[in-house]
C-alpha cells in the first residue's frame, strides 16, 4: 500500500527527536501546575488564599524584575493560573500539536531556542508596557505564540482544523489565522490591556509573535543547513523505485535525455516529498497522492 512505502514513513531517529523536547516541556509544565495545586491545598495563604511561594519567586512582574529576580522572564512560562484548567489546557494543546510538527523540522536544540526566545521576548515586551505596574504574569502563551507564528509563516497555505472553544471544528489557512490573531492581539493590547479592563498579557503574545516571524525570516530562511534540507529532503526512496532503476541500468545501453515533462514531474515529486518530510503524509491532498502513484511508472522507465 502507498502508506507503507518507506518514503511515507519518517526515520526512527526523526521520530525520537520529534517527541523528546515537546514531551519534556509538557511533563515539566504539567508537573509544576500540579505542584501549584498541591501547595494551594496543603499550604494555603492567609485567609484561605492561594499559596504565593511560586508566584513570589518565579512569576513575571515589574516588582520581581526590579528586585533582580531576572530569571522570572524565563520561569513564568512554566507557571499557569490555578483558578481555571483552560489556561494550561490551551497552551499545552498548542505546544503538543504545533511542537510535534516543528521539532522534527528544526531539531531539538533550535526548537527549544525558538520556544524560550518567545517566552523571554514576550516577558520583556510585557515589561516595556507595564514597568510600573504590580500585576503578575504566568503562562506559556508567548512561547506557544512564537511556535504558532513560525508555523504560519512556514506553511501559510496548508489548511488546518482547529477546535473552536474545544468543540466546534474550524478549517482555516495558517496565513489567515496569523493575521487574525495578530490583529486581535494589537486591538486587545490597546483597548483592554492598557486600559486595565482585562488582565490578559496580549503584549507578551505580541512579543512571541515577533520572535516567530524573525526566527523564520532570519534564522530558518537564512540558515544554509535548513535551506539544504528543504531543497533535498532526506527521505529513503521505495524499494520498487530502486529495483526498477537497477534493472533499467542493466538492460539499457542508450542514455536518454529526460523530457521536459519528466523534469517537471520530478520537480513536483521533490516538492511533495519535501512536504511529507516536513508535515507527514497526512498533509497531502488527493492530487498529490495521485502524482506519487503516477511518478512510479514514469520516472522509473
Q: Do the domain assignments include residue 207?
A: yes
DSSP string of 149-198, one letter each residue: HHHHHHSTTS-EEEEETTTEEEEE-HHHHHHHHHHHHHHHIIIIITTTS-
> Is 168 part of any domain?
yes
User: Higher-confidence residue: 116 or 3?
Assistant: 116
On whether both 195 and 127 belong to a single domain, the answer is yes
CB–CB of 55/40 below 8 Å?
no
Residue 126 near residue 203, CB atoms below 8 Å? yes
In terms of domains, do 100 and 13 share one?
yes
- Residue with more model confidence, 155 or 229: 155
Q: Are residues 141 and 105 in the same domain?
A: yes
In whole angstroms, what is the distance from residue 186 CA to residue 206 CA?
A: 8
Give me the pLDDT at residue 205, please.
96
Residue 256, pLDDT score: 43
> For the chain, what is the domain count?
2
Q: Within a domain: residue 224?
A: yes
In a domain, 137, yes or no: yes
In this structure, what CATH number is given to the domain that contains residue 109? 1.20.1540.10
**8 and 80 co-located in one domain:** yes
Give me the residue label for grid cell 515529486.
Answer: 269
Tell whether 30 and 137 lie within a shared domain: yes
Q: Do 184 and 254 share a domain, yes or no?
A: no
- Boundary of a domain, candidates 228, 250, 274: 228
Average pLDDT over residues 19-40: 93
Are both 97 and 158 inside the same structural domain? yes
Residue 11 has a pLDDT of 47
**With bands split at pLDDT 50, 70 and 90, how would you rate the model's confidence at 2?**
very low
Task: Evaluate whether residue 233 is within a structural domain.
Answer: no
The pLDDT mean for the chain works out to: 81
144 and 255 in a single domain? The answer is no
> pLDDT tens-digit profile of 34-58?
999 999 988 887 766 788 899 999 9
Can you give the pLDDT at residue 291?
82
Residue 211 placed within a domain:
yes
Average pLDDT value for residue range 52-78: 94
Last residue of a domain, one of 170, 200, 228: 228
Q: How many other β-carbons are positioned within 10 Å of the β-carbon of residue 65?
A: 18
Task: Report residue 17's pLDDT band, with 50, 70 and 90 as the boundaries.
Answer: very low
- Final residue of a domain: which of 203, 228, 253? 228
Q: Which of 265, 278, 264, 267 is nearest to 233 (CA)?
A: 278
Q: For residue range 102-139, list pLDDT tens digits in order.
A: 999 999 999 999 999 999 999 999 999 999 888 899 99
| % of the chain residues with pLDDT over 70 | 75
Q: Which tens digit of pLDDT belongs to each residue from 242-301?
A: 565 555 555 444 444 444 567 777 778 888 887 777 666 777 788 888 888 777 766 555
Q: What's the Cα-to-Cα distance from 218 to each of 36, 226, 229, 279, rounded to whole Å?
A: 38, 11, 16, 22
Work out the pLDDT band at 164, boundaries 50, 70, 90.
low
- Determine, yes or no, domain membership for 123: yes
Residue with the larger pLDDT of the pair 287 and 33? 33
Domain ranges, residue 280? 238-298
Do residues 222 and 246 share a domain? no
Task: Give a yes or no: residue 276 inside a domain.
Answer: yes
Asked whether residue 60 carries a pLDDT value surpassing 80, the answer given is yes
151 and 276 assigned to the same domain: no
For residue 149, what is its C-alpha cell? 507564528
On the CB side of 53, CA atoms within 13 Å amount to 12
Stated pTM of the model: 0.70
Same domain for 168 and 275? no
- 147 and 197 share one domain: yes
Give the model's pLDDT for residue 43. 85
Amino acid at each position: 500500500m502507498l502508506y507503507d512505502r518507506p518514503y511515507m514513513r519518517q526515520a526512527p531517529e526523526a521520530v525520537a527527536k520529534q517527541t523528546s523536547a515537546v514531551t519534556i516541556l509538557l511533563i515539566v509544565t504539567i508537573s509544576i501546575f500540579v505542584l501549584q495545586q498541591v501547595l494551594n491545598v496543603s499550604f494555603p495563604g492567609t485567609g484561605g488564599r492561594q499559596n504565593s511561594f511560586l508566584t513570589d519567586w518565579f512569576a513575571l512582574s515589574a516588582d520581581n524584575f526590579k528586585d533582580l529576580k531576572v530569571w522570572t522572564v524565563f520561569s513564568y512560562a512554566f507557571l499557569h493560573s490555578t483558578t481555571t484548567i483552560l489556561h494550561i489546557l490551551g497552551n499545552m494543546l498548542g505546544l503538543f500539536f504545533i511542537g510535534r510538527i516543528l521539532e522534527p523540522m528544526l531539531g531539538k536544540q533550535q526548537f527549544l531556542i525558538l520556544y524560550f526566545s518567545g517566552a523571554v521576548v514576550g516577558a520583556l515586551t510585557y515589561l516595556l508596557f507595564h514597568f510600573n505596574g504590580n500585576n503578575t504574569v504566568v503562562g506559556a502563551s508567548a512561547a506557544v505564540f512564537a511556535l504558532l507564528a513560525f508555523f504560519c509563516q512556514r506553511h501559510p497555505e496548508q489548511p488546518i482544523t482547529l477546535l473552536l472553544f474545544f468543540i466546534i471544528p474550524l478549517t482555516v489557512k495558517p496565513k489567515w489565522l496569523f493575521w487574525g490573531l495578530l490583529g486581535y492581539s494589537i486591538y486587545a493590547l490597546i483597548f483592554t490591556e492598557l486600559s486595565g479592563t482585562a488582565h490578559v498579557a496580549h503584549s507578551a503574545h505580541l512579543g512571541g509573535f515577533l520572535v516567530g516571524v524573525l526566527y523564520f525570516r532570519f534564522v530558518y530562511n537564512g540558515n544554509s543547513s535548513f535551506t539544504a534540507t528543504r531543497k533535498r529532503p532526506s527521505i529513503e526512496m521505495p524499494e520498487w523505485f530502486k529495483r526498477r532503476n537497477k534493472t533499467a541500468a542493466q538492460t539499457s545501453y542508450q542514455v536518454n535525455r529526460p523530457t521536459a515533462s519528466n523534469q517537471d514531474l520530478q520537480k513536483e515529486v521533490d516538492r511533495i516529498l519535501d512536504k511529507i518530510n516536513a508535515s507527514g503524509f497526512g498533509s497531502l491532498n488527493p492530487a498529490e497522492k495521485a502524482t506519487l502513484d503516477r511518478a512510479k511508472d514514469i520516472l522509473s522507465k
